[in-house]
Amino acid sequence: MRSLADLANDLATGRTTSQALTEAALARIDDPAGEGERAFIKVYHKAALDSGKASDIARGNGVVPSPLAGIPVSIKDLCDVAGEVTMAGSIVRHDAAPAVQDAPVLARLRAAGAIIMGRTNMVEFAMGTPGTNAHYGTPKNPWDRATGRIPGGSTSGGAVSVSDGMAAVALGTDTAGSVRVPSALCGLAGFKPTARRVSAQGIFPLARSLDSVGPLAPTVACCALVDAIFAGQVPPALRPRPLQGLRLAVPKHLVLDDMDEIVAGAFQAALSKLSAAGALVTEIDFAALARLPAINRIGGFSTAEAYALHRETLARAGDQYDPNVAGRIQMGDAWTAADYLDLIDIQADMIAAANAVTAPYDAILMPTSPVVACAIADVAESAAWLEAGRLLLRNNIVANFLDRCALTVPCHDQGAAPVGLMLMGESMGDRGLLEIGAAVEACISPPLA
């Protein structure tokens, strides 16, 4: 993997061309020994090559619309592309109407000059965090490929497209960790913005109350650049905050439970490095977090809102769904209108309580996932798939439920099993969190391979 800044510099100085970058990415996608067949559902071979050539011509004439110009990008399969049916990792939508226009986030990528490589595989309808797909196969995690480990989901193909050099950055979505979980398990940085900052129009929804659109990328600076483009902003220079005196809090409740030895060791080592660099790391009482499992016992907003969207299709063609996905969506049938209204009130109360607890701190720290990636074979049974998903999303859903921004950065040793450290910021505190994340990354993350 290489950072967007390095790639942009090579393009600017003539050390490479967009056509060369695109051809290299396509070669990795098409490699029969690689994961391209499982990482991508659709590849834009000709369009990508044509775009790369056009980008080089434009650059030669002094037209460089953004630092992302000429660089390969992948998009999750739930993103509308004009003239194409948005399948969302499923087969049930084969007879749906094609999208009439690109999703705004895709239109902004195109306007920035990005080379769109293709649509990446995902958990069907984004309903699941292990990263498996019964219809299109499951891309293997870059770590311990011989075993065949889960990539994390639901943006599974997006993560593998970046880790394997099939794209420099990926467009993902995050409803309960679908950007951050695969980023953490695959050794990437991943950013979940405050949801309202980035338009989700033209993105096939999972739960409208929680859905957000964010990047998976090699570094925090890469995430910051692409996030700005997603939000329709001019990408500003990212200036890392000084670690000295930075106030970082670690909740005592829920988020440290059930850590495996690898995650616990990497997490503690990261905290020690940050403390040695002058950050003020403090354990805090955040008792409200302990309520989340009970609040989300039947899937929270995700199952309620997904069931409302899918109930007619499930009745008509439920046998075409992955049984694990259909089972989770069907949980929404247990919701009543009163339950849903109660959840809205509970969320508002928890947001207010959380704001009071975290106000004195610059960021909240926790493991992104309490466990490293398990073998794909270990989640073949529905009960194991559901339990793995519950554990993987548990810490991540905190930021979605509290309407906040969150970032994961790698904190493992080079060559070891990937582990992510999550930083959670305040609602609309995205730029500040990215600045903090860049400093934390420089302190704890392994160098790019």
pLDDT by residue (tens digit) across 94-107?
Answer: 999 999 999 999 99
Name the residue type at position 435.
Answer: E
Confidence of residue 294 (pLDDT cuts 50, 70, 90): confident
Mean pLDDT of the region 306-326 = 97
Token pair belonging to 201: 């129009």
What is the CATH number for 434? 3.90.1300.10
Catalytic site residue from 76, 90, 192, 302: 76
Please indicate, yes or no, if residue 179 is contained in any of the structural domains: yes
Mean pLDDT of the region 420-447 = 98
76 is catalytic: yes
Is there a contact between 427 and 405 (Cβ–Cβ < 8 Å)? yes
Please indicate, yes or no, if residue 13 is contained in any of the structural domains: yes
User: Looking at the structure, do residues 164 and 213 belong to the same domain, yes or no?
Assistant: yes
Q: Is 80 exceeded by the pLDDT of residue 4?
A: yes
User: Looking at the structure, do residues 75 and 199 belong to the same domain, yes or no?
Assistant: yes
- The tens digit of pLDDT for each residue in 42-52 reads 999 999 999 99
Domain termination site, one of 198, 230, 262: 230
Is there a contact between 128 and 389 (Cβ–Cβ < 8 Å)? yes
Please indicate, yes or no, if residue 170 is contained in any of the structural domains: yes
Please indicate, yes or no, if residue 240 is contained in any of the structural domains: no
66 is catalytic: no
Token pair belonging to 233: 């902003």
* Gap between the Cα atoms of 87 and 78, Å rounded: 7
Confidence of residue 449 (pLDDT cuts 50, 70, 90): low
Mean pLDDT of the region 196-215 = 98
Whether residue 154 has a cis bond before it, omega within 30° of 0: yes
User: Looking at the structure, do residues 157 and 89 belong to the same domain, yes or no?
Assistant: yes
* Gap between the Cα atoms of 127 and 156, Å rounded: 12
Catalytic site residue from 178, 302, 369, 445: 178
User: Looking at the structure, do residues 29 and 80 belong to the same domain, yes or no?
Assistant: yes
Mean pLDDT of the region 259-275 = 98
Edge-to-edge strand order for the sheet containing 169-174?
40-43, 115-120, 72-76, 169-174, 212-217, 189-192, 406-410, 420-424, 363-367, 247-251, 280-284
Find where tokens 């690109």 sit: 102
Three-state DSSP class for residue 406: strand
Q: Which of 314, 330, 35, 290 is nearest to 167 (CA)?
A: 35
Q: By residue range, what is the domain housing residue 217?
A: 4-230
Domain termination site, one of 175, 205, 230: 230
Q: Provide the β-strand partners of residue 43.
A: 118
Q: Is 70 exceeded by the pLDDT of residue 159?
A: yes
Catalytic site residue from 55, 154, 161, 209: 154
- The tens digit of pLDDT for each residue in 237-252 reads 899 999 999 999 999 9
User: Looking at the structure, do residues 182 and 261 belong to the same domain, yes or no?
Assistant: no
User: Looking at the structure, do residues 24 and 102 belong to the same domain, yes or no?
Assistant: yes
